[in-house]
Structure 1
């Protein structure tokens, strides 16, 4: 069986060092992750994207949201599966909220309202 090679950018983005530095840069604002602060390279942009993804995963882990644990964060395939699951869960929640808004209800009873119209004779 062929082994799965880890993406080095994702490994760095998930490391404690870079996660801590990224979080502090977001809080303080005056810290810079890179020497250049303009004209970021493609690799820097990809790295920043994965820093934000792993930052949101660490927030989910610390708040016990979803079915996330430390072992999932160690495996890139499981991380991708969790991100897909989280996106679908949010889409379903948004769809359910939109469907509830579409249903008109009577404020007193909570039953769907009925609209009566008179037929013309």
Structure 2
């Protein structure tokens, strides 16, 4: 068993992320993992990511607030407990268009 307390979860930065605070909850520098890593992104009002694709699958779960996700062709507004899968090579952009903070859980291959 490997426990990571939120207050000691390592922070990380990612290119194309604006007004976001990201923490690694499990995997990578947060500890061992064979298949995936977990991250928490806190998105301030007006914050989000650029439209970009990666070669790996990503899954997001909104924990609080409201997050708009777009693949460049369509967009969806996600609210608490809504989730989305982004396929390998599929573009995605996240945006917090509200006046309240949002939080989103990210799951990606290790």
Higher helix share: 1
Higher strand share: 2
Q: TM-score range by the shorter chain?
A: under 0.3
Could you tell me the TM-score, scaled by structure 1's length?
Answer: 0.22
Q: Which has the higher contact order (CA 8 A, sep 6+)?
A: 2
Larger radius of gyration: 1
Could you tell me the TM-score, scaled by structure 2's length?
Answer: 0.23
